Structure 1
Amino acid sequence: MSEAPQFPPLFEGLALTGKADPFAKARMQAIMGCDAGLVVYNLATDQLSAAIVFAPEVPLRDAMPVMIACGIGFQNALGALAPPEVAVHLGWTGQIYVNGAGCGRLRVAASETADSEVPDWIVLGLELPLIPADPDAPGSAPDQTCLYEEGCVDVTADALLSAWVRHTLVWVNRMEEEGMKPLGNEWRGLAHGVGEDVSWTMQGATEKGIFMGTDEVFGALLKQGNDTRLLPLTRLLDRGE
C-alpha cells in the first residue's frame, strides 16, 4: 500500500479514490477559489493521476511555460528514482515518453484563454500508467508502455508524486527568478520529436509538419513546405468541452 505523499511547505494534498479524476477535481476547486499549491491526487493500483493548482501573476502567454516546468520536474523526479538506464523525454503536446514509448501525459487548463490576460488559476495534470492497460497482453501496443514495464517496479506512486511536486517547484522558482533561459536549456535536451514529422491533434484540430523546436516562451515551430508556423502553448489548453 502506498503511503501518503509528502509535499513542500505551502502545498496541500487532497486524496481521491476510486475513478475520481484529480484534473477535473482540481479545476473545480480552482474555480471555487482554492489556494495555489493544492495537489489533488489519486494513487490507484494501475495509474498515478495528480493535478497541481497554480496562481500566476503574469499574463497567460508568460504563465503557460509552467507546463514545461512540470514536465521537466517529472523527468527529474523519475530520473532520481528510476534505474539509470531509464530514459524520459517530453513531447510538446504533453506526452511523456519512457525509453522511447508513450507513457502518460500532462494536461493543462486555465481560467483565461486570452494571451494578454492574467489568469486566476492554471491547473496542470499528470496521468501516468503503472501497469499495462491489458495485463493479459503486455506489449500489444509497442508504441505505448507503462512505468512498471520499464524497470521501475521499485518506484512507488507516492514517492514519485512527492518528488514530482518538489522538482516542479524548483523549476517554477527558477522560471520566476531567472526567466525562461534555464528552462529552455533543460527542455532542449528532453524534447521528443524535434526535426521529425509530427501530427498533433489539439482543441479539435490536427496540425502537421516538421517540429523545428520552440520559441522563447515554448511555442512550437512547425515547418510545412517553405512556411513555418508558430503554435502557442495556449493551443494545448483543455477547455473542458
Structure 2
Amino acid sequence: MSDAPAPVFPPLFHGLAVYGPADPFAKACTQAMLGCDAGLVVYNHGADVLRAAIVFAPEMPLSQAVSVVVACGVGFQNALGALAPPEVAVHLHWSGGILVNGASCGRLRVAASTDDPAAEPDWIVVGLELSLIPPDPEAPGASPDATGLYEEGCVEVDSVTLLEAWARHTLLWVNRMLDEGNRPLHAEWQGLVQDVGKDISLALQGETLAGTFVGTDEDFGMLLRNGEVTDLVPLTRILEQGGG
C-alpha cells in the first residue's frame, strides 16, 4: 500500500520501499550485488501480503553466517508475539516456513553471494513473506493448511508496526549471535522449530530428503535419521540462487 506510513528502523538499518509486483527479496539481492550498505531493509506493503528483505554483511564463513536466517525467524516470532493476542502461536519450519496457529502463513528466504560453505560471503539477504489474508478469503476453510495473519485473531496488528518490530528483534538476536555465539539463539529456536522427532519429507534444491528429524547441530544443520544412519543436512542447503 503506497499510502502506508514509512516504517522507522533501528540504528544501522535503513529502508527502501518498492511497490506493486516488485519483489523486495530480488531487489535486496540486486542492491547487495551493487554494493549497498548492510542494514538495508527493502519492503513492499500489500493489502494481502507483507514482503520485506534485509541485507547483511557477515564476517564469517557461510556455514556459520547462514544462521542469520534463524535469527530472523526467532526475531519474527518475538515481534509477532509482542503484538498479537497471547493465544496466537507461531512456529518455524527448519527450511523457512512460518506457521501461525498450526497453518502455513508465510516463509523466510535466504540467498548469499557465494554457495561455498567455507567462503566468507560479501552479503546475505533474508526475505520475509507473510500472508495477511487467507489464500481464498471468499471461501473460509477451503485451504485448511494455509491461513492469513488477520484470520488468526491479529486484525489489530499493523503490518508497518510488525515490520519495524521484526527489524528490531532480528537486530537484537544478530547482536547476541556476535557476542555470545549460537547457544542462546539455539535455546530459543528449539522451542519454535516444527516437527522435531517426526518423520518428514523435504524438497531441497531438486532433491527430496526423508527421515526422522531428530534435531540440529550447533550451526542449525538438520540431523535426519534413517534407520541406524543419521545424516547432517547443512542449513546452507536452503539457500536460493540469488547471488554468485
Name the TM tier (shorter chain): over 0.9
- Structure 1 runs (4+) deviating above 3 angstroms are none
Q: Residue 240 of structure 1: CA displacement? A: 4.2
Q: What corresponds to 1:162 in structure 2?
A: 164
8 Å CA contact 1:2, 1:156 repeated in 2 = no
Q: Residue 227 of structure 1: CA displacement? A: 1.0
Return the letter of the residue paired with 1:145: T
Which whole-Å deviations, capped at 9, do the CAs of 1:110-157 have from their partners, x for residues lacking one?
Answer: 001111100000000000000112121122111111101100000011
Q: Residue 5 of structure 1: CA displacement? A: 1.0
Secondary structure class of the residue paired with 2:88: coil
Q: What corresponds to 1:127 in structure 2?
A: 129
Taking structure 1 as the reference length, the TM-score comes to: 0.98
Alignment of 1:108 with 2:106, yes or no, is no
1:151 is matched with which residue: 150, 153, 175?
Answer: 153
Q: What corresponds to 1:40 in structure 2?
A: 42
1:93-104 correspondence to structure 2 within 5 Å: 93-104=95-106
Return the alpha-carbon distance in structure 1 between the equivalents of residues 212 and 26 of structure 2.
Answer: 33
Return the alpha-carbon distance in structure 2 between the equivalents of residues 14 and 202 of structure 1.
Answer: 30
Q: What corresponds to 2:201 in structure 1?
A: 199
Secondary structure class of the residue paired with 2:4: coil
2:220 is matched with which residue: 214, 218, 221?
Answer: 218
8 Å CA contact 1:2, 1:157 repeated in 2 = no
Return the alpha-carbon distance in structure 2 between the equivalents of residues 239 and 47 of structure 1.
Answer: 23
Return the alpha-carbon distance in structure 2 between the equivalents of residues 240 and 209 of structure 1.
Answer: 28
Secondary structure class of the residue paired with 2:167: helix
Q: Percent identity?
A: 65
Structure 1 gap segments, 5+ residues each: none
Alignment of 1:208 with 2:210, yes or no, is yes
- Number of aligned residue pairs: give it: 241
Return the letter of the residue paired with 2:141: G
Return the alpha-carbon distance in structure 1 between the equivalents of residues 155 and 198 of structure 2.
Answer: 32
User: What RMSD, in angstroms, separates the aligned Cα atoms of the two structures?
Assistant: 1.0
Q: Residue 20 of structure 1: CA displacement? A: 0.5
Q: What corresponds to 1:2 in structure 2?
A: 4
Return the alpha-carbon distance in structure 2 between the equivalents of residues 66 and 183 of structure 1.
Answer: 10
Q: What corresponds to 2:120 in structure 1?
A: 118
Return the alpha-carbon distance in structure 2 between the equivalents of residues 181 and 202 of structure 1.
Answer: 26
